[in-house]
């Protein structure tokens, strides 16, 4: 009887929880989506400007995002629970002593700059859509960011894990409606881009750089996400959940 109970407990611990997978993946999606995605500028500069090949770039970026996110979450599950300074630092663990130390100091500075841009973007959005003083949106966003951070990691994950999937659903709905209403424009999109002057390219300045655009999109987005994703590993109970 005791042996059966132990077996049942072991099975329950190793089983994949759909709720945990949804929670972790939703939190990662919401964390990576910022004002650049919301405004459409990221997608335009890193994928759309490369025409139909940009679709291939977006697929490659998605695959890389999944792999890197899984590696980082699994690292958090496997290493952050111990007290070994050599293994509980993801930067030195993956990048070596010197470059890892540089990235350890550079990442908070980079995240701080991103936070400034996001807060400023909130002020500009309030001004454009509602005609309010941009300082109103800036102050409100600052309050929301501070309050969310004070809730702690677990509550933060609970909140943004709901926002990530919703953002994906709404983005897909908008894309589908746009294609249905303007099918002809989609067929002529590449010609329109080539005929436009001063188009901002995310990577190289011609259609041949679609692959580099997809890789760079992941590279600059993942930098600020390393501390967050590794901490997410503490929220899972077994290795299988951290990799799904």
| Separation of alpha carbons 133 and 35, rounded Å | 19
Alpha-carbon 193 to chain mean position: 27
pLDDT digits (tens, 9 = 90+) for 57-83: 999 999 999 999 989 988 888 877 665
| Separation of alpha carbons 60 and 213, rounded Å | 10
pLDDT digits (tens, 9 = 90+) for 222-233: 888 888 888 888
Find out whether 56 and 210 touch, Cβ atoms under 8 Å. Answer: yes
| Separation of alpha carbons 26 and 34, rounded Å | 14
Does the pTM of the predicted model rise above 0.85? no
Q: Which residues contact 46 (CB under 8 A, 6 or more apart)?
A: 54, 57, 61, 202, 203, 213, 214, 216, 217
Report pLDDT for 68: 92
């Amino acid at each position: 009887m005791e042996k059966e109970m132990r077996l049942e407990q072991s099975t329950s611990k190793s089983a994949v929880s759909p709720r945990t997978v949804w929670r972790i993946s939703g939190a990662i999606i919401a964390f990576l989506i910022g004002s650049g995605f919301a405004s459409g500028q990221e997608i335009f500069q890193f994928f759309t400007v490369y025409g139909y090949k940009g679709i291939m770039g977006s697929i490659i970026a998605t695959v890389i995002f999944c792999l890197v996110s899984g590696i980082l979450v699994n690292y958090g599950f496997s290493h952050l629970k111990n007290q070994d300074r050599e293994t509980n630092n993801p930067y030195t663990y993956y990048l070596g002593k010197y470059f890892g130390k540089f990235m350890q100091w550079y990442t908070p500075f980079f995240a701080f700059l991103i936070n400034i841009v996001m807060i400023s973007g909130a002020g500009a959005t309030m001004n454009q859509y509602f005609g309010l003083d941009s300082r109103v949106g800036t102050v409100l966003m600052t309050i929301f960011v501070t309050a969310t951070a004070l809730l702690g990691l677990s509550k933060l994950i609970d909140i943004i894990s709901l926002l990530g999937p919703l953002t994906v659903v709404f983005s897909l709905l908008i894309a589908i409606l746009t294609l249905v209403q303007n099918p002809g424009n989609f067929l002529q999109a590449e010609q329109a881009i080539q005929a436009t002057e001063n188009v901002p390219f995310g990577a190289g300045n011609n259609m041949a750089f679609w692959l580099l655009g997809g890789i760079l999109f992941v590279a600059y987005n993942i930098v600020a996400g390393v501390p967050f994703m590794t901490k997410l590993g503490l929220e899972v109970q077994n290795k299988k959940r951290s990799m799904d």
